[in-house]
Structure 1
Amino acid sequence: MVKELYLMRHGQTLFNQLHRIQGASDSPLTAQGIADAKEVGQYFKAQQLSFDHAYSSTQERACDTLECITSQPYQRLKGLKEWNFGVFEGQSEQLNPKNDSQRHSYGDFFVQYGGEADYEVRERMNQTLTEIMQQPTHDRVLAVSHGGACFMFLQKWLSYAEIQRRVTDFHNCCILKLTFANDQFNFVESINVKKLKQEK
């Protein structure tokens, strides 16, 4: 049986607005972040999309996003947390290193500063989401996570060229729709609710 996963990035936060590095650290949703998350909830209702189960990162910005979307019970999981950037947490995004040209990410850069490597983030996200989708009655699942963590998860299942071509928009509150069967994820589409609303 083919199952569906709607993997979503949290709403805009204060650190997003201030262009600060935000991984293991946290900051609250802005008014815009709250409004965008509520729009996603309205979109799901309009599409008559309901979820058997809902999950969130343990971080406040992800939990608050999910609670703006739905009132259904949900479970918080550390495996869905954002990439840990070590001592760079809370600093200006201008301090981020250039992407590793082979791995198309920050690679191992943050490990020396107490953070995570890209492959560590990728594997914990994949393991967590696989374990979620393997459970019975999990036919359609909503999970709220983070930009860096979701990007690394996508790299498990898509080449960098495919991500550039197929994931056309990955701003705050963007939704990644994937199917799951035989322990394999298949990317379907990225959904930007705000953009869809503007196009109507």
Structure 2
Amino acid sequence: MSRRVVCLRHGQTLWNVEHRFQGHSDIPLDETGVAQAARAASLLAALRPTMIVSSDLQRAFDTASALGRLVGLSVSVDKDLRERGGGEWEGLTREEISAGWPREFADWEAPGGEVVTDVAERVSSSIRRWAERLEPDGLLVIASHGAAIRLGIAKLIGLPEELWPALGGLGNCSWSVLEEGRKGWRLMEHNAGTLPEPVQSDDSPEVTQD
């Protein structure tokens, strides 16, 4: 038996639709996002999760709560599962960012924001910390954010930093599955729950959303 972790991205928000950088801004789910969370909950309930932990931001917590209500589990909160902080870019569209900070936009490094290595470290450490509480056959569901999940997984499975961009983003209410093996954590599924589609998140200038 192996411990497993499902990393679930939150449902859609208005800022997702408007292509705005969300970061630490506490933006709620919109009507579509609420429906996405309910659908994801109905699918993930079949996996019989034994623990649910969420970012402290409302869009992630409400996504996690939809699953918690369905399976009868309370949702723990961990601030370390927050999205990458966007500094001066939060609330701005990609067009506004590229116009105002062309050099920083090319590197996707927001003035006053978090660097990717810090995000990867805090998210991967959080996943490890909560996974250690699981029984040997337990299933943990982490509700978090697009960039946070991608960077945390990359760090957790030991990808060299230069290869982190090879791991694609997640659509709203899609998830990735990690399983603990004899030599560490393995990525078993990535961006599951939807057909292939453009993904936009607070992740890089190339992707088209969190």
* Interval containing the TM-score (normalised by the shorter chain): 0.7 to 0.9
CA distance, structure 1, for counterparts of residue 62 and residue 86 of structure 2: 22
Name the structure 1 match of 2:153.
154
Gaps spanning 5+ residues in structure 2: where?
A: 99-103, 197-210
1:110-129 pair list within 5 angstroms = 110=110, 113-129=111-127
1:49/1:26 Cα in 2 relative to 1: closer, same or farther (>3 Å)?
Answer: same
Greater displacement, 128-137 / 177-186: 177-186
Q: In 1, are the aligned partners of 2:22 and 2:90 still within 8 Å (CA)? A: yes
Name the structure 2 match of 1:163.
167
Give the counterpart letter for 2:184 in structure 1: Q
Name the structure 1 match of 2:140.
141
Q: Percent identity?
A: 27
Name the structure 2 match of 1:11.
11
1:117/1:184 Cα in 2 relative to 1: closer, same or farther (>3 Å)?
Answer: same
CA distance, structure 2, for counterparts of residue 153 and residue 192 of structure 1: 17
Name the structure 2 match of 1:76.
77
CA distance, structure 2, for counterparts of residue 182 and residue 25 of structure 1: 39
1:47-66 pair list within 5 angstroms = 48-66=46-64
Name the structure 1 match of 2:178.
178
Q: In 1, are the aligned partners of 2:179 and 2:188 still within 8 Å (CA)? A: yes
Q: Shift of residue 69 of structure 1? A: 2.4
Q: Shift of residue 14 of structure 1? A: 1.0
Q: Shift of residue 80 of structure 1? A: 0.3
Name the structure 2 match of 1:37.
37
3-state DSSP of counterpart to 2:5: strand
CA distance, structure 1, for counterparts of residue 76 and residue 152 of structure 2: 20
CA distance, structure 2, for counterparts of residue 187 and residue 99 of structure 1: 29
Give the counterpart letter for 2:152 in structure 1: F
Name the structure 2 match of 1:23.
23
Q: Shift of residue 161 of structure 1? A: 6.9
Q: Shift of residue 154 of structure 1? A: 2.8
1:52/1:32 Cα in 2 relative to 1: closer, same or farther (>3 Å)?
Answer: same
Q: What is the aligned length?
A: 181
3-state DSSP of counterpart to 1:188: strand
CA distance, structure 2, for counterparts of residue 38 and residue 136 of structure 1: 25
Name the structure 2 match of 1:103.
none
Output the TM-score relative to the length of structure 2: 0.78
Name the structure 2 match of 1:187.
187
Gaps spanning 5+ residues in structure 1: where?
A: 101-105
Q: Shift of residue 191 of structure 1? A: 4.8
Per-residue CA deviation, residues 119-147 of structure 1 (Å, 9 max, x unaligned), is 00000011111111112437210010001
Give the counterpart letter for 2:167 in structure 1: I
Q: Shift of residue 195 of structure 1? A: 3.5
Per-residue CA deviation, residues 162-192 of structure 1 (Å, 9 max, x unaligned), is 525xxxx721111100112468321001253
CA distance, structure 2, for counterparts of residue 68 and residue 17 of structure 1: 21
CA distance, structure 1, for counterparts of residue 116 and residue 135 of structure 2: 31
Name the structure 1 match of 2:203.
none
Q: In 1, are the aligned partners of 2:134 and 2:140 still within 8 Å (CA)? A: no
Q: Shift of residue 91 of structure 1? A: 1.0
3-state DSSP of counterpart to 2:167: helix
CA distance, structure 1, for counterparts of residue 165 and residue 56 of structure 2: 31
Q: Shift of residue 98 of structure 1? A: 4.3
3-state DSSP of counterpart to 1:122: helix
Q: For the aligned residues, what is the CA RMSD? A: 2.2
Give the counterpart letter for 1:78 in structure 2: K
